Amino acid sequence: MEHIKISDKSFKPYLGHEEIMAAIDRVAEKINRDFSGSDEIPVVLCVLNGSIIFTSELIQRLDFQCELASIKLSSYSGTKSTGCVQTAMGLTCDVKGRKVIVVEDIVDTGNTIVKLDSILREAGASEIRICTLLFKPGSYGKDIPIDYIAKEIPNDFIVGFGLDYNGLGRGLREIYVIDED
């Protein structure tokens, strides 16, 4: 992996593709333990656009039936969270009385998680579990538990594997961290 430039920022290698795949394998095993053998068919809720790639990899590893749905929220501008979570597209299926596994690319401040929790409770979800590829424990200050964490990372700005910088970099197979040097 080499340094890359996206728009006006430089990024250095952080997580290789194999390490990302191994983290997804581990988190899928935990979800499978919790949901295998259940008569209920949970909804796997992909939070657009960032978690598309993670969700695609994750559902291929799940050994139980699930329904895939999506929702689109946004709170970032450039490299910073705006603190205001906007709903760009509502739920694509009915979750009333159903278990929902929310799939996020990254959880940092937790503002999006709070908004998702509120939306899903209002829609009548019977149970909400949160799954994230990346978790920044140093930034998270909310009371909602994160049930499935593929990898914990420091509070740095990253890009790749679904994560973007101003809409760019989502298609990178690896994850890069901003190079402040």
Ordered structural domains, the chain, with CATH:
17-153 (3.40.50.2020)
Cis peptide before 49 (omega within 30 of 0): yes
Supply the pTM of this predicted model. 0.93
- pLDDT beyond 80 at 12: yes
* Catalytic-labelled residue, pool 39, 108, 156, 164: 108
For 144-158, the pLDDT digits (tens) are: 999 999 999 999 999
Please report the pLDDT score of residue 87 as a whole number: 80
State phi, psi for 8 to the nearest 5 degrees. Answer: -100, 10
Please report the pLDDT score of residue 37 as a whole number: 87
* Catalytic residue status for 181: no
For 46-64, the pLDDT digits (tens) are: 999 999 999 999 999 999 9
| DSSP code per residue over the chain | ---EEETTEEEEEEE-HHHHHHHHHHHHHHHHHHHTT-SS--EEEEEETTTHHHHHHHHTT--S--EEEEEEEEEEETTEEEEEEEEEE--SS--TT-EEEEEEEEESSSHHHHHHHHHHHHTT-SEEEEEEEEE-TTT---SS---EEEEE--S--EEBTTB-BTTB-TT-SSEEEE---
Average pLDDT, the chain: 93
Residue 137 CA to residue 165 CA, distance in Å, equals: 21
For 129-139, the pLDDT digits (tens) are: 999 999 999 99
**Sheet arrangement for strand 175-178:** 4-6, 9-15, 175-178, 158-159
Please report the pLDDT score of residue 76 as a whole number: 56
Average pLDDT, integer, range 73-82:
63
